[in-house]
A and B are shown apart, each in its own frame.
Chain A
Amino acid sequence: MLPLSLLNAAQNKPMLVELKNGETFNGHLVNCDNFMNITLREVYQTSAEGDRFWKLKECYIRGSTIKYLRVPDTLLDAVKEEQNRAREAGRSARGSHVSGTGARGRGAPPRGTPVVQSREVYI
């Protein structure tokens, strides 16, 4: 399982982010990208010494400054299940290709099946 899949699945979930300088941020994930740049909302910021606190409506954190993230335990199973579903869907989509009736040209979908396959399966 890829770390970034876990992060993507954490959208709208609570998380704790510790930066390399020791500051921590508690909030809900709004958005993230492949650099692990993230935006959080309803944030509680704590100083590295743990003695000062701030409340922020929203904040942006550059990925390169992050030490680690803590996310809810339940996300692990959610991501694993999602991956299994994607794998299954990929298998059956490929399967339907092979089992074409053969009368039509290569790659033509069997009559009655939607032409557009779920593309996200291959991404």
Chain B
Amino acid sequence: MAGLQPYVDHRVLLILQDGRAIVGVMAGFDQKSNVVLSDTKERVYSMEEGVEEIPLGLYLVKGDQIVLIGELDEAADKAVDLSTIRAEPLPPIRY
């Protein structure tokens, strides 16, 4: 594996194939890159209003649904006022 190990116990941003963006703490993963996230929040982007964060709790995401997992720089993330961010949601994956 190009390694998800460095992300364990870190707060990450997970982008799904349907375009959803979820932040949470990576609790574990396996060979198929199935991932367990705890304390998750979905970040809903729109052009009409700021980013909405919806708490979702403990999540098990199937590996084949994952597009990207990024380590969140917590300081940089806290410095962003999400309510001021306007953006289109990410598009879903199109093969």
A contacts, CB < 8 Å to B: 1-7, 20, 22, 36, 63-64, 66-73, 75-76
Contacts and interface: CB of A to CB of B under 8 A. Distances in A.
Given A68-B65, A73-B38, A3 B58 contact: no
Contacts of A67: 16, 18, 61-62, 65
Contacts of A7: 60
A75 B58 contact: yes
Given A1-B36, A67-B16, A20 B58 contact: no
A70 B59 contact: yes
Contact of B27 (A1, A4, A36, A69): A1
Given A3-B35, A3-B36, A20-B65, A69 B59 contact: yes
Given A3-B60, A71-B57, A76-B58, 7 more contacts: A5-B28, A6-B58, A20-B65, A68-B16, A68-B62, A69-B59, A72-B57
Interface of B: 16, 18, 27-30, 34-36, 38, 56-62, 64-65
Contacts of B64: 64
Contacts, number: 61
A6 B57 contact: no
B17 to A, nearest CB: 8
Contacts of A6: 27-28, 36, 58, 60
B56 A70 contact: yes
A66 B57 contact: no
A3 B28 contact: yes
B58 A72 contact: yes
B37 to A, nearest CB: 9
A68 B58 contact: no
Nearest to B38: A76
Contacts of B62: 36, 63, 66-68
Nearest to A22: B18
Contact of B58 (A5, A22, A71): A71
Given A3-B34, A76-B38, A70 B28 contact: no
A1 B65 contact: no
